[in-house]
Amino acid sequence: MAARLKRDDEVLVIRGRDKGRRGKIQRVFPDKDQILVEGINMVKRHYKAGVQGRQAGIVDKEMPLDASKVMPICPSCDKPTRVSVKILDDGTKSRGCKRCEGMLN
């Protein structure tokens, strides 16, 4: 089955603190139904100094976001869209845009 969201897709956040912001998917966690988006869902973490010379302090870190809170952006029409799965002539599945019928991959 073709996945709805894949790595390097551009997405738009539709709910939450970062609503309306765009970002690129860095990592997908399919077992938890979460994704890690570049520059989205930033939190501050307090770290102690590490044995290998890690600096102590407060660090901004990206945290995973639920996949239902984002919509993929179609590269051809540049709008957020739902994903349609199409079966090609050779039998493979491909993701497509519901708005303009363009391909997402």
> How many angstroms separate the CA atoms of 55 and 64, rounded?
24
| Reported confidence tier of residue 1, pLDDT bands at 50, 70, 90 | very low
67 phi/psi in degrees, rounded to 5: -65, -25
Structural domains of the chain ordered from first start: 10-80 (2.30.30.30)
Confidence class of residue 9 from pLDDT cuts 50, 70 and 90?
very high
Structure tokens given for 11: 């997405």
Q: Give SS3 for 42.
A: strand
> Residue 3: pLDDT above 90?
no
Please give the model's pTM, rounded to 2 decimal places.
Answer: 0.84
Q: Is 16 left (phi over 0), alpha (psi -120 to 50) or beta?
A: left
